[in-house]
Structure 1
Amino acid sequence: MTATTDGRMGFVDVHDIAQVGVRAPADEHPHNTAHLITGLEALSYADVAALVSAVAGRPIHHRGVSYEAMRDLLAATGVPEGFAELPAGMDRSIAKGTEDRLSPAVEEVMGQPPCSFADFAAAHASAWRR
């Protein structure tokens, strides 16, 4: 459940983040930049749910809610109201397209493309089959 509507983002495997994080500072030539590390494609949470459904063998759905509903749900679970606005606000920002971007950083630093979400989902299918 998110308030991202059909907003997209470049989901990235933590292993790709770690590889860039280890390699970039160790390179002979300094990068002198803050790398934007993204996956191969910008996906919505509905896209992610569909990819997970395909490998899990069961339906997984993304439930979209409003910013207010997300904020209130977080607050109802014990998250302080002021803090609940932060993740709900990030969802709203994604809905507006702020994270619909991709970067070649992983391939530039590592010499290979990042893991696709489909490959990530397939590699972790057993976790979603439970």
Structure 2
Amino acid sequence: MSETLLVTGASGQLGRSVLRHLLDAQKIAPARIIATTRNPESLADLAALGITVRAADFNDQASLEEAFKGADRVLIISTGDLDLKSDRRLKQHQAAVAAAKAAGVSHLLYTSMPNPEPGSPVLFAGDHYGTEQAIKASGIAYTIFRNGWYQENLFLALPHAIASGKWYTSAGEGRIAHGARDDMAAAIAAGLASGSTDSRIHTLTGPQAYTTTEIAALVSEVTGKPLEVIQLPDEALTEGVKAAGVPEEFARVIVSFDANTRSGRISMVTDAIETLSGRKPKSLKQFLEANKAALAG
């Protein structure tokens, strides 16, 4: 099979990991890979390997159409352009879907989130749901990866919580199966390289779901430091996050994650990572042990 595979957002952490797995685990020849980014110079190391590097701007559909030319399977990595006051990110994704159709792409792949349907407490869920709908309406065969929360996201809260001994949350007894970003990248690369023509949705999670209290117990076990979980209402948690210096819009996003966990909408555990990539996903305890120094200071 000689399909050409394209990865957008190739200079980001997920994009670079996907490309590495395409080369190493999937044994895809560099000449079959296109990597796109707004700043091609940032991918000089990939170009040196023989990967085709192209400029692509999600705010410019014409640039996307040009970048996607000759690509058979295109992975759209959701952009980080969050703006709760507009639908800018959704429009970016819709432009990418339209560009893929114009370029004659045969299979679209996209990084979404679990349960993005209307009613999700996550403030940017509508961007993902709208993009999924655009992909389905395009008529192009698709693979949607609904990426669970990364283990790396715990760096947002844990270092400060460990230092103070108190972890403020509004997640209640909700469970979440954090997964390693690199494990998800391995699964996505496998899906991109698979040649599958079926339209599918895969939800990617870690191997076990925990409550915040259970995560805190694991943290204490690994670091040797006590960590008390303090449950707050969403409003009080938002004020506390703002008081820590986080801008209000991002504070609201952070708290919406906890509300989502509390609602049970991200409690699922799947075997999709292992099924797609053939590798066992890293456990939360393994992640904490590997990052003990960075978390505990």
After superposition, residues 34-49 of structure 1 pair within 5 angstroms as 34-49=201-216
Alpha carbons of structure 1 residues 128 and 86: separation in structure 2 relative to 1, 3 Å: closer
Identity of aligned residues (%): 26
Aligned to 1:20: 187
Distance across 1 between alignment mates of 2:263 and 2:202: 23
Query: 4+ runs of 1 displaced by more than 6 Å?
Result: none
Aligned to 1:29: 196
2:255 equivalent among 88, 92, 107? 88
Alpha carbons of structure 1 residues 108 and 93: separation in structure 2 relative to 1, 3 Å: same
Aligned to 1:9: 176
Alpha carbons of structure 1 residues 64 and 114: separation in structure 2 relative to 1, 3 Å: same
Offset of residue 37 of structure 1: 0.7
Aligned to 1:118: 285
Q: Does 1:79 align with 2:256?
A: no
Secondary structure of 2:256's aligned partner? helix
Secondary structure of 1:98's aligned partner? coil
| Range moving further from structure 2, 87-96 or 112-121 | 87-96
Q: Does 1:68 align with 2:239?
A: no
1:59 equivalent among 211, 226, 233? 226
| Range moving further from structure 2, 109-118 or 57-66 | 57-66
Does the CA-based 8 Å contact 1:39-1:116 persist in structure 2? yes
Distance across 1 between alignment mates of 2:169 and 2:246: 17
Which is bigger in relative contact order (C-alpha 8 A, separation at least 6)? 1
Does the CA-based 8 Å contact 2:204-2:272 persist in structure 1? yes
Residue deviations 1:43-102, cap 9 Å, x none?
11221111121111222333321111112223443523x654333233122112111111
Offset of residue 2 of structure 1: 1.7
| Range moving further from structure 2, 27-36 or 15-24 | 27-36
Distance across 1 between alignment mates of 2:225 and 2:251: 31
Offset of residue 123 of structure 1: 1.9
Offset of residue 36 of structure 1: 1.0
Secondary structure of 1:41's aligned partner? coil
Secondary structure of 2:203's aligned partner? coil
Tell me the C-alpha RMSD between the 2 structures: 2.1
Code of the residue aligned with 1:79 in structure 2: it is: P
Does the CA-based 8 Å contact 1:24-1:31 persist in structure 2? no
1:101 equivalent among 268, 276, 280? 268
Secondary structure of 1:100's aligned partner? coil
Does the CA-based 8 Å contact 1:52-1:128 persist in structure 2? no
With normalisation by structure 1, the TM-score equals 0.83
Distance across 2 between alignment mates of 1:56 and 1:67: 28
Does the CA-based 8 Å contact 2:187-2:274 persist in structure 1? no
Does the CA-based 8 Å contact 1:57-1:129 persist in structure 2? no
Distance across 1 between alignment mates of 2:229 and 2:222: 16
Offset of residue 28 of structure 1: 3.2
